[in-house]
C-alpha cells in the first residue's frame, strides 16, 4: 500500500506548520499508523528558509509532551502538488498562496487544517500573536480530526 502523504503549510514554516507536522506525527505514532504516512511541512514565503522551528513552538511542544520532528524551513513547490495527497494550510492567506504556487496541475487535495474539525476561525500565527497555547490547541484539534478522518475512511 502506498503511503498517504500529508503536507502542512504556513507562511514561514517555523511556527504553525512545524507544530502541525510534529503533533500529527506523534498522534499517528500513538494510533499505530505512522508507518503508512509521509508527513512534512513547508512555507509559502522564503522569509525563514533554512531556519529551525521557532523557540515558542519548540517550548510549547515540549510542555505538552510532543517531540519536535527534525526540521528546517523549506519552500512549498509545484512538485509538492504532485507528490502529496493532502496539503493543508492554516489560514486564508496560506490557501491563496498555496494555490498560486501549486498551480493548475496540482493533484493534491488543497484545504485548510481548521476545516478538518469545522473550526470557524483560522489558526492564528503566534509569530504575531505570541499565543502559542491557542495555536497549539487549534493545531491539535485539526490534526486529531484529520487523523480520525483518515482512519475512519481507511486511507491509512
Give phi and psi for 109, each to the nearest 5: -75, 120
Bridge-based pairing of strands 86-89 and 4-10 is parallel
Say if residues 73 and 32 touch (Cβ distance below 8 Å): no
pLDDT in tens, 89-123: 999 999 999 999 999 999 999 999 999 988 789 99
Active site residues: 10, 16, 125
Domains of the chain: 4-152 (3.40.50.2300)
Give pLDDT, residue 155.
Answer: 83
pLDDT in tens, 115-141: 998 878 999 999 999 999 999 999 999
Q: Give the DSSP H or E segment for 6.
A: strand 4-10
pTM: predicted TM-score of the whole model, two decimal places: 0.97
Strands (E) in 11-112, as ranges, are: 37-43, 86-89, 109-112
pLDDT in tens, 31-86: 999 999 999 999 999 999 999 999 999 999 999 999 999 999 999 999 999 999 99
Amino acid at each position: 500500500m502506498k503511503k498517504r502523504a500529508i503536507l502542512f503549510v504556513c507562511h514561514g514554516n517555523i511556527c504553525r506548520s512545524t507544530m502541525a507536522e510534529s503533533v500529527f506525527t506523534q498522534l499517528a505514532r500513538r494510533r499505530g499508523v505512522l508507518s503508512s504516512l509521509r508527513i512534512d511541512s513547508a512555507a509559502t514565503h522564503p522569509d525563514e528558509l533554512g531556519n529551525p522551528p521557532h523557540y515558542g513552538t519548540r517550548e510549547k511542544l515540549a510542555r505538552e509532551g510532543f517531540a519536535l520532528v527534525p526540521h528546517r524551513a523549506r519552500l512549498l513547490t509545484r512538485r509538492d502538488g504532485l507528490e502529496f495527497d493532502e496539503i493543508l494550510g492554516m489560514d486564508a492567506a496560506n490557501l491563496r498562496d498555496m494555490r498560486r504556487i501549486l498551480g493548475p496541475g496540482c493533484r493534491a487535495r488543497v484545504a485548510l487544517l481548521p476545516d478538518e474539525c469545522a473550526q470557524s476561525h483560522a489558526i492564528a500565527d503566534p509569530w504575531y500573536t505570541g499565543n502559542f497555547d491557542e495555536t497549539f490547541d487549534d493545531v491539535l484539534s485539526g490534526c486529531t480530526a484529520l487523523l480520525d478522518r483518515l482512519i475512519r475512511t481507511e486511507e491509512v
